[in-house]
Structure 1
Amino acid sequence: MSSAPQRHRTAFAISALAAGTALAGLAGVATSPVAPPSAQMTIAGQADLAYVVYAPERRHPVEATAAREGAIVDWLSQRLNRPLSVPSLREYGYALPGGRRLPGAAGPAAQFMYEDGAGARLALYVSPASQRETAIHVLREGDRRTFSWANDHMGCALSGRMAEGQLRKIAVDVCSEPGGHPEPWR
């Protein structure tokens, strides 16, 4: 037979599990076994999440600064095991403060953060993709928009808080540098 302390620990574990399951149910969280979130999330979802986390940061929006732009591109290219290029958004009024390495569903990902003179930010997310090519799609979340596409097994997504048409124009221009022009818009 079990000792009293063992029964108490077992009862506590069962209670904690039941309470957690009940809270998850109230919050609308699925409690059945499912694939890890990173495997379920699209590149647009990953990019949007990274944007939500890092764009509001005032002190540390990037992990590595673009003081030496070539160094950050080389570093992130090595981490993604693929040569990257960083498009300039100066014609749109955005400078590149830097970037960071992030986890992605298919391995390491990179995020390049851009900022205009008023402090508004755009983020370009780059990650290996399982598809050779996909057309550009838009993800709308509140006041945020993320345009995503894949080319040559490289997924790209541009996220920001701006008029959808303007962000779309920038995304089309950006396509030519990191991943090539994708198929027509869907």
Structure 2
Amino acid sequence: MTVPIPITESDLHAWVDGQLPPERAREVEAYLASHPDDLRRAETWRAQKQELKGLFDPVQDEPIPAQLLREARPRRPWWAERLAAGVAIAVVSGAAGWGLRGESVAHSAAGAAPAPGIVQVSAFAQRAAIAHAVFTPDQRRPVEVDAAHEDQLVTWLSNRMGTPMRPPHLQEQGYVLEGGRLLPGGKGPVAQFMYRDPAGRRLTLYVSNQLGDIAEARGPASRPANGETAFRFAREGEVNVFYWVDGPFGYALSTEADKGELGRVSGEVYRQLTAHR
């Protein structure tokens, strides 16, 4: 039996904008036929779109006033604004990203002693930290598909990623799954799973199987000579990240918890992921 891919808010917006493939559009229309509240929301967006079109179409081809061109200044990217307000993370170099400091920590599956060393932190870890900081403060819609529909979440992400995607279960570590979402990575889609502890603190697992992302996460020396998996630690502001490459996947675990807690949970995530291969 094929599990249907859930209809997300992104699908509704794409339907309003006429950007869905015909088959997906029919699925959305069938969903809206039985969900009048969402249909009203979509129709409201459509009406707003038409009002804006009528308002701005007459002036969209007019030249930009010279005064505005003189006063224009470069602005930080959208995620920098959100991060500065939400977690007070310092953003540097405009759209170039963050300056992160990292440590390389080599572990065996049995939990060998770490060997710290300063390394250049990858863009992969930066994107994982940014995604964590942007979505974890959201109280209304932190995930696209919640844990109550885990089967649908797994099917949807597996289809979009082109490989089986199943979130680790971390109840024994004190974290329950809230759900997940699909995000843009460096070269293609990535998955983000979100967890919460009893105090409301969130933890996210960022997963990619894109070659470009994995090359970034691997870095110049991500695997020790003895063949053990190399975990790397990065910290900026309140966000800590453990990230590593294992087989065809890159993983990054992000949280505001301390390094010891992050390492403890990372070990269990690694154990579950390797056990299911």
Q: Name the TM-score, length of structure 2 as normaliser.
A: 0.52
Per the alignment, do residues 18 and 112 of structure 1 end up closer, same or farther by CA in structure 2, a change over 3 Å counting?
A: same
Higher helix share: 2
For residue 160 of structure 2, what is the aligned residue in structure 1? 79
Displacement of 1:47: 0.9
Aligned-pair distance for 1:156? 0.7
- Choose which of 249, 252, 261 in structure 2 pairs with 1:154: 249
Q: Name structure 2 gaps, 5 residues minimum.
A: 1-62, 77-90, 97-121, 223-229
Cα distance in 1 between the residues matched to 2:270 and 2:169: 12
1:55 paired with 2:136, answer yes
Q: Is the 2:188–2:210 contact (alpha carbons within 8 Å) kept by the matching residues of 1?
A: no
Q: Distance in 2 between matches of 1:100 and 1:71?
A: 12
Distance 1:28 1:83, change over 3 A: closer
Distance change in 2, residues 1:28/1:96 (3 Å): closer
Q: Distance between the aligned counterparts of 2:259 and 2:237, measured in 1?
A: 12
Q: 1:74 to 1:161 in 2, by over 3 A?
A: same
Share of identical aligned residues, percent?
Answer: 38
| Length, aligned pairs only | 161
In structure 1, how many angstroms separate the alpha carbons of the residues matched to 2:65 and 2:254? 47
Deviations 1:22-43 (A, max 9, x none): x78xx96469xx8xxxxxx622
The amino acid across from 1:138 in the alignment is: F
Q: Partner of 1:38 in structure 2?
A: none
Distance 1:66 1:58 in 2: 15
Match of 1:90 in 2: 171
Unaligned ranges ≥5, structure 1: 1-8, 35-40, 182-186
Distance 1:68 1:60 in 2: 15
Runs of 4+ in 1 over 4 A off after TM superposition: none
Distance apart, 1:172 and its partner CA: 1.9
Residue type of the partner of 1:151?
Answer: D
Which residue does the alignment assign to 2:69? 16
How far residue 18 of structure 1 moved from its aligned partner, in angstroms, is 7.9
- Name the amino acid aligned to 2:66: F
Q: How far is 1:50 from its partner?
A: 0.6
Q: How does 1:114-133 map to 2 (within 5 A)?
A: 114-130=195-211, 131=214
Question: Is the alpha carbon distance of 1:17 and 1:78 closer, same or farther for their aligned partners in structure 2, counting shifts above 3 Å?
Answer: farther
Q: Structure 1 residues 106 and 163, CA, compared in 2 at 3 Å: closer, same or farther?
A: same
Structure 1 counterpart of 2:176, one-letter code: A
Distance 1:83 1:10 in 2: 49
**1:173 partner SS:** helix
Q: Partner amino acid for 2:138?
A: E
Distance of 1:166 and 1:144 partners within structure 2: 13
Aligned-residue offset at 1:19: 4.1
RMSD over aligned CA atoms reads 2.9
> 2:236 maps to which residue?
141
Q: Secondary structure at the match of 1:172?
A: helix
Taking the TM superposition and a 5 Å limit, the aligned residue runs for 1:32-43 are: 42-43=123-124
Deviation of 1:60 after TM superposition, in Å, equals 0.8
Q: Secondary structure at the match of 2:190?
A: strand
Amino acid at match of 2:69: A
Tell me, in whole angstroms, the C-alpha distance in 2 between the residues paired with 1:95 and 1:143: 21
User: How far has the Cα of 1:158 moved from its partner?
Assistant: 0.5
Of stretches 41-50 and 110-119 in structure 1, the one that deviates more from structure 2 is 41-50
Measured at CA, do residues 103 and 16 of structure 1 come closer, stay the same or move farther in structure 2, by a change above 3 Å? same
